Amino acid sequence: KAGVTQTPRYLIKTRGQQVTLSCSPISGHRSVSWYQQTPGQGLQFLFEYFSETQRNKGNFPGRFSGRQFSNSRSEMNVSTLELGDSALYLCASSLVQGFDEQYFGPGTRLTVT
C-alpha cells in the first residue's frame, strides 16, 4: 500500500505570494491533518479534515486554509506569504477522524524569500 505523498517536495516563493500544497493520504484513510515544523516553534498542528469537512483547527491565522476532496486528497493554501511561513509542512493521514495512528508524509519544504 502506498504511503502518504506530498507535492511538491520543495518550493520557493516570494513574500506576498500565495502557495498551495497537496497531500494524498493512504488509500482508505479519510482523515488528513496538517502540521507546520520550524526550528523555532517545533511542530504545530494546523488543521484536520475528515469527510471533506474541517474538524479541528490549531492556532494559526486565517491566511492558512485548507480543503479536502471527495477522494480524501487534501490541499493547504497559504495566502500573502510572510518570511516566517518558511517551514516544513507535514501532512498525516489516518483511517478515522482524530489523530490516532497517524501516518506522515515526507513533507513540503517551503522557503519564502
Partner 1 sequence: AQTVTQSQPEMSVQEAETVTLSCTYDTSESNYYLFWYKQPPSRQMILVIRQEAYKQQNATENRFSVNFQKAAKSFSLKISDSQLGDTAMYFCAFMTLTGNQFYFGTGTSLTVIP
Residues contributing to the site for partner 1 (CB under 8 A): 3-4, 33, 35, 42-45, 48, 55-56, 58, 90, 92, 97-107
Q: In whole angstroms, how close is the CB of 55 to partner 1 at the nearest point?
A: 7
Question: In the complex with partner 1, which residue's Cβ is closer, 25 or 105?
Answer: 105
- Compute CA 80 distance to the chain's CA centroid, rounded to the nearest angstrom: 17
The phi and psi torsions of 85 (rounded to 5 degrees) equal: -85, -5
**Residue partners of 42: CB distance under 8 A and separation at least 6:** none
Do 29 and 91 touch, CB atoms closer than 8 A?
A: no
Q: In whole angstroms, how close is the CB of 47 to partner 1 at the nearest point?
A: 11
Question: In the complex with partner 1, which residue's Cβ is closer, 69 or 99?
Answer: 99
Do 18 and 110 touch, CB atoms closer than 8 A?
A: no
Per DSSP, helices labelled H in 42-107 are none
Question: In the complex with partner 1, which residue's Cβ is closer, 43 or 80?
Answer: 43
Q: In whole angstroms, how close is the CB of 7 to partner 1 at the nearest point?
A: 15
- Read off the C-alpha cell for 58: 490549531
Question: In the complex with partner 1, which residue's Cβ is closer, 4 or 112?
Answer: 4
